[in-house]
Amino acid sequence: MSAGSAVPVPSTYLDAARDADPATRAANAAMAAKLPFADTRDFEAARRGLIAPVPDGVVRAESGTVLWNLSEYAFIDGEVAPATVNPSLWRIARLNLANGLFKVADRVYQLRGFDIANMTVLEGDTGLILIDPLTTAEVSRAALALYFAHRPKKPVVAVIYTHSHIDHYGGVRGVIDEADVKAGKVAVIAPSGFMEAISGENVLAGKPMMRRAQFQFGHLLPRGPRGQVDAGLGKAVARGTPGLIAPTLTIEKPVEEHTIDGLAIVFQLAPETEAPAEMHMFYPQLGVLNMAENACPLLHNFIPLRGAVARDPRIWAKYINDAIEMYGPRTEVLIGQHHWPTWGREAVLDYLRAQRDLYKHIHDQTLRLMNRGWLPAEIAEAIDLPPGLAERWSVRGYYGTVSHNVKAVYQRYLSWYDGNPCNLHPLPPAPAARKFVEYMGGAAAVIARARADFAKGEYRWVAQVMKEVVYAEPDNKEARALCADALEQMGYQAESATWRNAFLYGAQELRHGVFQLPARPAMAADTVAGLSTDIFFDMLEIRLDPAKAAGRSMLVNWHFTDRAEKLTLTLSNCTLTHRLGDWSDRASASIITTRATLDSIILGKVKVPEALMSGALRIEGEAVQLAALFAMLDPPSAMMFDILTPGEGGI
């Protein structure tokens, strides 16, 4: 996930949006008749234990800039969904407006509706244990202030990160001081592999993930019945300043028990589930089970639309089942780090069994049809949830969907390739689109046929074929407008918040172009500082431009005195590689510095000549090698690259 909620978007963007067409109205009416909307138990659970709401529904930076604003969702004010919103999605959008400080059980409180995630507060004997301090410092600080306004002001003695997504750790500097961590006053606890997982997801592929996340979360969509209404897991991701404080304790064993400030906590590792590094917790003295993000009241993602390594629903279901067996008989309350709790042992067990069966069903049925030779799109079209699951609100596809989760299972086992050699080496999108449109009789003929299909409500096909015209002729305004209209109707019908956001944001970019965001650093300084030196050099190496490195070779030693680390960096065959712990007598240059200095250079805070002049960086041997190395690296790329039209990769 990336930090960043709504930024000002011109109000005229919504003026261009069409109303729901008859086919969309019929589809949404059918959904309203299909599901048990008379069941209001979730609304009671979402309000249960409320002590106080988010003050004014707003969080501001010290400058006064609004970072979080629930009043943007004032339009979500009734049970009946507008025609432009799937009624099931409207329901979760209403539920996700529940906000404030909630008492869950004795010594257990939650702060919800300050961000897409929850911050859980456990009251220890002398202080507080905070679980998942939200995305940014400003919102986590505001959330803790609301807690202190209604509960005794005790020091924070521990922060626990349940997993390696930014909405569960990024706000840590709003609730604790790193000096207290270094002094041993505050423990920071995370699952095994936490720091490595952060590096893998947020660094090497961070920029395209952030760009794609704009479509998943709808950050840049206006709020409204024809715009963003929800993000599935919550309303949106909060804006502000993300940070990171490295763990002082990592949970390494499959199950570990620790007593923290008088509270026993049983940690159950659940790696390669919703995140590469994730863990559940059971609080035996309190009868509370915390499933982190592995049992939300919805269908989660096996691959999010922003991108990630394919997750394993088979092992996901296994870890849920293990939690049922190990903790179910002693659990009275189930909580997670999104949404609302479940109370009562039988209700908890029923809920968890449905979640277990949800993930295993999609996995097993995908494998069953894969083994019969079905293709990903065919399986995705055929599989749905079975009776017993389909009518349950807690497994609906508000965030993930059965369709794209099926494709994730296929990818995990058989890769992107569907086995048909015709799809092994096709033309790239832009030249292929030009040939398709030529074969179809030209853009005008294609658009005319697509308009007829649009009138029949065949929006999926219209979007599919208009995509070809847009790639063949990016400046064809008629094609862009028709493609936008089709995506928009698909968004109005989507039950998944992430699909709705993607469709509507796609329509917005086709109509108005790529929204230009203010320049900002690609990565937070805390994230860069938290990288292992191994991952740091992986990050540098993927920026090498082969054209600039052609015919060159290089062997350079690096010594980072603050970390007592050495490595050799090799350039050969237009490729950079490094080896930690190595030091070569054959190196043409040796660079002695600190990782902190190199971090500052990469972040643009310090220039190499300045570091040399100050003595923060020394070069022994051929000093020109460092300048030559940096000259071969691509500058940090802009995030707002084209997605709906051919961009830099369009041939």
Stretch (H or E) spanning 472: helix 459-472
- The per-residue pLDDT for 5 is 46
Measured in Å, how far apart are the chain's first and last C-alpha atoms? 31
**Which residue blocks in 328-400 are alpha helix, DSSP H?**
345-370, 376-382
The pLDDT tens digits of the residues spanning 240-275 come to: 999 999 999 999 999 999 999 999 999 999 999 999
Window from 13-22, 386-395, 639-648 with minimum mean pLDDT: 639-648
pLDDT band at 491 (very low <50, low <70, confident <90, very high): very high
Nearest one of 502, 10, 512, 643 to 217, comparing CA atoms: 502
Q: How far apart are CA 22 and CA 5, in angstroms?
A: 32
pLDDT tens digit string along 375-429? 999 999 999 999 999 999 999 999 999 999 999 999 999 999 999 999 999 999 9
CA distance 144 to 175: 7
Query: What pLDDT sits at residue 524?
Result: 77
The pLDDT assigned to 636 comes to 78
Over residues 176-190, the mean pLDDT reads 98
Q: To 10 degrees, the CA torsion angle through 170, 173, 174, 179?
A: 160
Which tokens go with 230?
A: 């929800």
List, for residues 321-331, the tens digit of each pLDDT value: 999 999 999 99
Interval 184-201: pLDDT, tens: 999 999 999 999 998 776
Beta strands 279-283 and 288-290, pairing class? antiparallel
Distances (CA, A) of 593 to 541, 598, 604: 19, 7, 16
Q: What domains, with CATH codes, occur in the chain?
A: 12-382 (3.60.15.30), 426-512 (1.25.40.880), 525-631 (3.30.1050.10)
Taking the C-alpha atoms of residue 78 and residue 96, their distance in angstroms, rounded to an integer, is 14
Half-sphere exposure of 113 (CA within 13 A, CB side): 27
Please choose, from the candidates 472, 406, 471, the residue with its C-alpha nearest in 3D space to the C-alpha of residue 438. 472
Round the average pLDDT of the chain to a whole number and report it.
Answer: 94
Q: What is the pLDDT of residue 8?
A: 65
Question: Is pLDDT above 80 for 2?
Answer: no
| pLDDT score, position 202 | 67
**CA 40 to CA 26: how far, in whole Å?**
24
Band (pLDDT 50/70/90 cuts) for residue 519 is low
- More confident call, 524 vs 163: 163
Contact 370, 271 (CB under 8 A): no
In the prediction, which pLDDT does 15 show? 77
Q: Note the pLDDT of residue 201.
A: 67
Q: What is the mean pLDDT of residues 115-128?
A: 98
pLDDT over 90 at 571, yes or no: yes
Instruction: State how far Cα 233 lies from the chain centre.
Output: 10
pLDDT at 7: 61
Helical H runs in 473-594?
A: 477-493, 497-512, 525-530, 533-541, 546-549
Helix intervals (H) in 303-428: 313-327, 345-370, 376-382, 402-414
Q: Tell me: pLDDT of 1 over 50.
A: no
Mean pLDDT of 339-360: 98
| Cβ neighbours, 10 Å, residue 164 | 24
213-216 — which CB contacts under 8 Å span 24+ positions? 213/1, 213/2, 213/306, 214/505, 215/305, 215/306, 215/501, 215/502, 215/505, 215/506, 215/643, 216/304, 216/305, 216/306, 216/498, 216/501, 216/502
If pLDDT is split at 50, 70 and 90, which confidence band does 647 have?
Answer: confident
